[in-house]
């Protein structure tokens, strides 16, 4: 990896190449994940759930809601 970057008249000397490597890795992961996002589908039938109910099912929120009496369980 280059230790110096020049782009459109800007010159940047890098102390380490690692930030550049991590940036390139992150961009590549983002491209792959965005391209694969539409290929996954749920094969089983699922019950629609509202956003509020979905947030209430989070591992941190659900025990707190049950402890303080605000949690209405859907079963």
| Per-residue pLDDT, 67 | 78
Contacts of 4 (CB under 8 A, 6+ apart): 11, 12, 13, 14
* Residue among 46, 53, 45, 43 nearest 73 (CA): 53
| Per-residue pLDDT, 1 | 63
| Per-residue pLDDT, 30 | 95
Mean confidence (pLDDT) of the chain: 79
Please give the chain's pLDDT, 75 residues, in tens: 666 777 777 777 777 778 778 889 999 999 999 999 888 887 888 888 888 887 777 777 777 777 777 655 555
User: Would you kindly state where each structural domain of the chain is located, as residue ranges?
Assistant: 1-39
Can you name the residues that pair with 11 across neighbouring β-strands? 6
| Per-residue pLDDT, 56 | 76
């Amino acid at each position: 990896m280059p230790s110096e970057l020049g782009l459109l008249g800007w010159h940047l000397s890098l102390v380490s190449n690692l930030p550049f490597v991590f940036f390139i890795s992150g961009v590549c992961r983002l491209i792959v994940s965005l391209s694969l996002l539409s290929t996954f589908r749920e094969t089983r039938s699922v019950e629609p759930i509202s956003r509020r109910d979905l947030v209430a099912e989070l591992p941190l929120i659900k025990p707190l809601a049950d402890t303080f009496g605000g949690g209405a369980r859907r079963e």
